[in-house]
Amino acid sequence: MLKINQLHKSYPIGDSSLHVLKGIDLEVETGEMVAIMGSSGSGKSTLLNIIGMLDEADSGDYILDGVPIKNLNEKKAAIYRNKFLGFIFQSFNLINYKNALENVALPLYYQGLKRKERLEKGKFHLQKVGLLDWAHHLPSELSGGQKQRIAIARALAADPKLLLADEPTGALDTKTSYEIMEFLQQLNDEGKTILIVTHEEDIAEMCKRVVRLRDGVIEEDKKVNQVRASQYV
Amino acid sequence: MFDIDLWREIFQSINKNRLRSMLSGFTVAFAIMLFTILFGIANGLSNTFAEAFGDDATNSIFIQSGTTTTAHKGMQAGRRIQFDNEDFNYIKDDNGNKIEFITARIYKNVTATFRNEQNSYSVQAVHPDHMFLEKTIIREGRYINQRDLNERTKVVVIGRLVEEDLFLKTTALGKYINLSGIQYKVVGIFTDEGGDNQERLIYMPVTTAQQVYGNNDYIDQINLTYNPEMNFDQAIAFSNSLTKKLKERFSVAATDQRAIRVRNLASDNKAVNQMTTVLGVLVLIIGMGTLIAGIVGISNIMIFIVKERTKEIGIRKALGASPKSIVSIILLESVLITAIAGYVGLLIGVGALEYFGPGLKEYFITDPSVSSSLVVSATIVLILAGGLAGYLPAKKASQIKPIVALRND
């Protein structure tokens, strides 16, 4: 599914440069649910951004679903992002003047689907996250948990191969966090590959595999016994 | 560009951010309104001047004869100068392509009768070119033509008011009218923008008049227009040399002001033309200035909008928006706001001109208005301006890196 080989990335800071990723090797199979952990500054978000094609590596190989991701121009990156990836952010990143349904249907607009089809698919995914009744509400009228579920529905709308979640529970209380995790687990059970960046141990334990980053290298990569979120809800 | 979904996105964005869109549109609307009103007023001023000159061609030269005031070459003062066909041909042949149109004129007064209606009118016997000099507009039938001249046919072209006076509600075309005892066929009816007097005239072929009234080849006046490609100085030189040649031809003293009079409209026109040109340039500069200010204003606001929408653009990019779609969404929004606001400004400006226009006559502003071609070109300029104003911000927006835009802060 995803294969990363000797990935390096550094950012210029003033005259010197900060070496953030110092040779990452990572392989993720279809159907996995991987937590990427690490303290702040460990490079976990940078790694996710590179995987998400929001940023480009300095050197190293990155192959996603058999397609080498390299030297992408903006246009190609946009197409790949749309086709392969679904993003879930800590701060939800919904468009505030669009209602829930329009937000969910937005990736489909960039896929070039007809409006009717988009709204139909959007409704289907809203139903999947249990928020069909809220389809015509603006994000400002929704709670944090609801917003994140809308964001998940949006990430799912384009039927991506890989879901990337950057601290998906970072802005939520514990109970809502577990609800979101329960839902992500459910998606994983259905076969979706999910990558979650987090620094919370309990969230990481709800994944099937934990990759720990420290100072730009993988410190530990182990399978864990998944803790089902449903027992806390 | 004609993607309905794209337009839906743009309308939504404008609609959901009404205040912002209104503010950005206001500058442009105001600029265009000012431009329209200024332009209309300038037009009104030049209309006032144009009216003062009536409807004659502005490159006209009138040649009239009178009596000598000084003795010259052994001839006494008080001699009457009379033009005839030979003089007409001399002027025509001698000057070739310097002359655009030329016509003779013979003035007569007649009593015209048709059935029971009777009235007195001025007749002008003319050449076919007279139509262009006088800017006569043929409403029905035709004007005097060369064949009429050759065959000395008894035909007349009558003014709109002559028809109204004598023929009441019926058409005069093809009927016979009695001018002081002689029957003439009406072959045309004309209108003229020079006013009622001009529309109470009767034109007939110059040769016919010469035969009927005195059987001579006399001419009262010669009117011509000089080649419009001549500039002002050339035109003045032309009429001066014409005067000199005619004075020699008739043995008139060079200082004699009354025997032969040549009036060149060019000298009257020059001052007015210069003034209207300066006025036009002034209006154009002010108009362009306001328009540029409007464009800069909208560009500023678009930059602000892009800044404000950085996050949204980042989200869109993360969801798979291509740079092109980002450019088009910002650019079209800018074009749309500019075009609509500009159009509103245009309407307000035109409305103001329509409303206040008639009351401005006493301030030398006649019928201030803007032409439809100006409206069309203003619309095109607006769309271009919107594109220009939106381009840089749109380009900037398309270069936003989603990773920067989505950073949690």
Domain membership of residue B76 (yes or no) is no
Residues constituting chain A = 233
Domain boundary among B215, B249, B283: B249
Q: How many CB atoms lie under 10 A from the CB of residue B279? A: 17
Mean pLDDT by 10 residues, chain B (409 residues): 74 80 82 83 77 67 87 81 88 85 91 87 91 87 90 91 86 88 91 82 91 86 87 84 86 83 78 78 81 79 83 89 88 85 87 81 72 77 81 86 72
Is residue B233 located within the same domain as residue B106?
Answer: yes
B224 assigned to some structural domain: yes
Mean pLDDT of A38-53: 88
DSSP element (H, E) containing A18? strand A16-28
A111 touches B: beta carbon within 8 Å: yes
pLDDT of residue B1: 46
The DSSP code for A33 is E
Residues B141 and B242 in one domain: yes
In degrees and rounded to multiples of 5, residue A42 shows phi and psi of: -80, -15
Give a yes or no: residue B264 inside a domain.
no
Indicate which of A54, A88, A98, A163 best probes the interface with B, i.e. most B CBs within 10 Å of its own CB: A54
Is residue B266 situated within a structural domain?
no
Residue A165 has pLDDT above 80, yes or no: yes
pLDDT recorded at residue A186: 93
**What is the per-residue pLDDT for A22?**
92
**Residue B55's pLDDT is what?**
56
For residue B401, being part of any structural domain is answered with: yes
Section A41-57 average pLDDT: 88
Residue B119 main-chain phi, psi, to 5 deg: -165, 160
Q: What is the DSSP code string of A90-110?
A: TT----TTS-HHHHHHHHHHH
Q: What six digits make up the tokens of B329?
A: 């969404």
- Give the per-residue pLDDT at B56: 63
What is the average pLDDT across A163-182?
91
In a domain, B259, yes or no: no
| Contact at CB, B320 and A82, closer than 8 angstroms | yes
Chain B residue with minimum CA distance to A160? B319
Residues B287 and B172 in one domain: no
Find the closest chain B residue to A109 by CA distance: B5
What's the complex ipTM? 0.90
Chain A contact for B323, CB < 8 A? yes
Using an 8 Å CB-CB cutoff, list chain A residues near B322.
74-75, 78-79, 110
Query: Is B80's Cβ below 8 Å from some Cβ in A?
Result: no
Instruction: Examine the domain organization and report whether B87 and B232 are in the same domain.
Output: yes
B20 lies in the same domain as B98: no
**Do B110 and B244 lie in a common domain?**
yes
Range(s) of the domain holding residue B151: 82-249
Whole-structure pTM value: 0.64
Nearest to A115 among B5, B316, B317 (CB): B5
Query: pLDDT, tens digit, for every residue of B56-88?
Result: 667 888 888 888 888 887 788 888 888 888 888
Please indicate, yes or no, if residue B189 is contained in any of the structural domains: yes
- Which of A91, A96, A107 is closest, CB to CB, to B408? A91
pLDDT band per the 50, 70, 90 thresholds, residue A153: very high
CA distances from A219 to A36, A212, A213, B236 (A): 11, 5, 5, 99
Do B202 and B297 share a domain, yes or no?
Answer: no
Q: Are residues B231 and B87 in the same domain?
A: yes
Number of structural domains (chain B) is 2
Contacts 24+ apart (CB under 8 A), A78-81: A78/A110, A78/B317, A78/B320, A78/B321, A78/B322, A78/B323, A79/B320, A79/B322, A80/A53, A81/A52, A81/A53, A81/A54, A81/B317, A81/B318, A81/B319, A81/B320
Report the distance separating Cα A30 and Cα A42, nearest Å. 25
Arithmetic mean of pLDDT, A161-188: 92
**Whether residue B311 is found in the same domain as residue B387:** yes
Extended beta strands in B38-116, E state: 60-65, 83-84, 99-114
Same domain, B318 and B348: yes
> Does B114 fall in a domain?
yes
User: Could you tell me if B205 and B330 lie in one domain?
Assistant: no
Distance CA B192, CA B198 (A): 6
**Contact between A9 and B403 (Cβ < 8 Å):** no
> Distance (Å, rounded) from C-alpha B297 to C-alpha B24?
7
Structural domains of chain A in order of their starting residue, each with its CATH number: 31-54+70-231 (3.40.50.300)
For range A210-219, the mean pLDDT:
92
Q: Is B218 left (phi over 0), alpha (psi -120 to 50) or beta?
A: beta
- Residues B385 and B318 placed together within one structural domain of the fold: yes
User: Considering only CB atoms, which chain A residues are within 8 Å of B11?
Assistant: none
Contact A74 B322 (CB under 8 A): yes
* Minimal Cβ distance to B406: which of A82, A83, A89: A89
Partner-chain residue, chosen from B12, B318, B325, that has the shortest CB–CB distance to A54: B318
Residue B116 token pair: 């029971």
Looking at chain A, which residue has its C-alpha nearest residue B325?
A110
